[in-house]
Structure 1
Amino acid sequence: MAAAGEEQRRNAVDEQRRKAGPLHTDRGDTTIEETVVQKLAGMATREVPGVYAMGSAARRAFSAMAERIPGAQTNVSGGVVVEKGELQTAIGVSIVVDYGTSIVEVSQGIRRNVIQAVERATGLEVLEVNVHVTDVHLPEDDRQEAETRKTPELQ
């Protein structure tokens, strides 16, 4: 009788460990900050063809100014919002798409890439990846930017 009770207890403990996920083991816990998930999701999003930039216009302008500071690092988590629990996460990304690309295909690619990258790297289950398209990058935008750079600055 005692052996059956002990086996049931062990089975319950094993089941609890499986539910706790790979980040919580009998040898210790692993915690992951939201910024880690943001960076992983940002990098995975940028890898998808058709993604021109991330974030809103204001966010992109701020990032462009910050990157001009010597020694500054590129902000790969801009345009990414994360809600994270101990075992699961939900991710939102804001993007600018290239003109002529399918927003449906780009968003599907983002979901696939982000889920794969975050789950593989962190062990967290990604419940959802919401994609918010904030703008479309037009070919004329590149020409206007190039002309602006050629114009000498007044001193």
Structure 2
Amino acid sequence: MDAIQNLEYGEIRIAEDVIATIAGLSAIEVNGVAGMSGGLVGGIAEILGRKSLSKGVKVDINEKGGFIDLYLIVDYGTKIPEVAWEIQDKVKRAIEVMTNLEVIEVNIHVQGVNFLKATAEEGKPQGTK
């Protein structure tokens, strides 16, 4: 269901994909987020590129408002609860400001941890143990 606003001269419909893209862009701007997750493939979380941000987001809109689920991969060493709270706040604010849709929930699902950044900072080539 799209977000619909009835106005004096007609209505405005905002597709769920638009809301998902806003949520995804807002989430990856937070330090500690390695990327959006496309789900678990063979037990390994797949990091999506910028063009696929909405695939790591599930949007549900009903008469109460918007419910957002974000599937993320975080960087190793990240304080996950702190990052999650920042993501929730940033996503909620961005969607409400840009679309005027009331966001009821922003649920964070951590699907994996990115170790590549940690090994690069230690001076090891990426992908080595």
Question: TM-score, normalised on structure 1?
Answer: 0.66
Match of 2:67 in 1: 90
1:103 corresponding residue in structure 2: 80
5+ residue gaps in structure 2?
none
Equivalent-residue separation in structure 1 for 2:64 and 2:106 (angstroms): 16
Structure 1: 5+ residue stretches without partners? 1-21, 65-72, 146-155
Q: How far apart in 2 are the matches of 1:86 and 1:76? A: 25
- Name the CA distance, whole Å, in 1 between partners of 2:103 and 2:12: 17
Letter in 2 for 1:143: Q
Size of the alignment, in residue pairs?
115
Deviation of residue 107 (structure 1)? 0.4
Percentage identity across paired residues of the two chains: 34
Aligned equivalent of 1:132, options 109, 117, 129: 109
Using the TM superposition, give the Cα deviation of residue 86 of structure 1 relative to its aligned residue in structure 2, in angstroms. Answer: 5.7
Shift of 1:76: 2.0
2: CA distance, partners of 1:126 / 1:105: 20
- What do residues 72-95 of structure 1 show as CA deviations (whole Å, max 9, x unaligned)? x82221210000136611000011
Q: Distance in 1 between matches of 2:107 and 2:71?
A: 9
Does residue 143 (structure 1) correspond to residue 126 (structure 2)? The answer is yes
What secondary structure is seen at the aligned counterpart in 1 of 2:90? helix
- How far did 1:23 drift? 2.2
Change (3 A) 1:43 1:123: same
TM-score by length of 2: 0.78
Q: Secondary structure at the match of 1:76?
A: helix
Query: Are 1:42 and 2:19 matched, yes or no?
Result: no
Question: Alpha-carbon deviation of 1:110?
Answer: 0.6
- Higher helix proportion (structure 1 or 2): 1
Structure with a larger share of its residues in strand? 2
